[in-house]
Amino acid sequence: MTINWVIASNNRGKSHDLALCLAYYGLAAENYLSQASRLVFPTETTTSYVENALTKAEFAAQQLQRPVIADDSGIELPALPDILGVTTARDLGEQTSGGDRNAEILAALQAVPAAQRQAVMRSTLAVAWPDGRSLTTQATVTGFIAENQIGNYSGGFDRLFWLPQFGRTLAELPDQWRLPVTHRGQAARKLVEQLKQMKG
């Protein structure tokens, strides 16, 4: 499959997951770093997923002079209302590894009963073209935070995110089950549909 799209992110793990989601719906993409030098993206200063994703996409589209896809995502826990969400990376530390972030969340929820460990993961995808055009899609997945990190099919918050309908965490689901139900996978489906409509 010909690679037509690049993903505007310096996070290779997130880029890999997004590329899998897009490929599931027939759109080939790869991290921009496979084709260009590393960019220094504008610092995220807003509390809007849409603004953050658009800022990254529009910046990269101008720098690379080609269409790009960017993602802004976060995890929200009603039991921890003052942290996480759109500022997840800022709250837990940009350089903190996925495993360490998960450990911090588990520690913060240690005294919270299972029924109150609800969680939502949100993803906003933005496409930007060098001529100034753009579009965005958004999606969520709801579940609970598990008592421990479980699963090896994927990493990051997937190892904490327990889905009642499967009785497993996202990371316990192979890609053919996981990708369609994740926040990023659902946003990717909507994005591919919009791009097809534009061509049609």
Residue 121's nearest CA partner among 105, 140, 149, 102 is: 140
Total domain count, the chain = 1
Question: What tokens does 33 get?
Answer: 């770093």
CATH number of residue 191's parent domain: 3.90.950.10
**Nearest Cα residue to 68 out of 43, 46, 36, 95:** 36
Reported as a pLDDT band with limits 50, 70 and 90, residue 24 is very high
Supply φ then ψ for residue 133, to 5 degrees. Answer: -70, 155
Question: Is residue 127 classed as helix, strand or coil in its secondary structure?
Answer: strand
Residue 88 predicted with pLDDT over 60: no
Residue 90 has pLDDT above 50, yes or no: no
Which residue type sits at 5? W
Task: For residue range 159-198, list pLDDT tens digits in order.
Answer: 999 999 999 999 999 999 999 999 999 999 999 999 999 8
Q: Range of 16's domain?
A: 5-199
Residues designated as active site: 72
- 50-66: pLDDT as tens digits: 999 999 999 999 999 99
pLDDT confidence of 4, banded at 50, 70, 90? confident
SS3 content of the chain, % helix, strand, coil (to 5): 40, 20, 35
**Residue 4 burial (10 A CB sphere; 0-12, 13-18, 19+):** exposed
pTM of this prediction? 0.89
